């Protein structure tokens, strides 16, 4: 499958991929200020095309959390 958007969910505890190893929390305000666009698909999934390179830069991450136990692996100051 060829995806053209970064797929996200909106709230903590939202529905993500069951096989995800980590959840990356994006600071949407910071990402938007960096020129990252967001949109909502017809089925309610939040999407982004990322920046010019097609990714959301790590400087826009709020934190990275291990999905299996909720342990915070990185916080914004670490990026």
pLDDT given for residue 74 in this prediction: 86
pLDDT in tens, 5-52: 887 877 665 656 778 898 899 998 999 999 999 988 888 788 998 988
Residue 52 CA to its chain's centroid (Å): 16
Per DSSP, the three-state class of 7 is: strand
Assign 78 a pLDDT band (cuts: 50, 70, 90): confident
Q: Is the pLDDT of residue 55 over 80?
A: yes
Q: Is the pLDDT of residue 1 over 60?
A: no
Q: What share of the chain is helix, strand, coil (3-state, %, to 5)?
A: 15, 30, 55
* Best CA proximity match to 27, nearest among 77, 76, 78, 79: 76
pLDDT given for residue 38 in this prediction: 92
pLDDT given for residue 72 in this prediction: 93
| Domain ranges, ordered by start, for the chain | 6-11+19-78
């Amino acid at each position: 499958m060829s995806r053209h958007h970064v797929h996200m969910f909106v709230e903590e505890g939202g529905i993500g991929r069951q096989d995800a190893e980590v959840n990356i929390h994006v600071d949407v305000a910071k990402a938007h200020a960096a020129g990252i666009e967001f949109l909502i698909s017809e089925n309610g999934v939040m999407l982004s095309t990322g920046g010019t390179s097609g990714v959301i830069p790590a400087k826009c991450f709020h934190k990275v959390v291990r999905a299996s136990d909720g342990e915070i692996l990185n916080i914004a100051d670490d990026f």
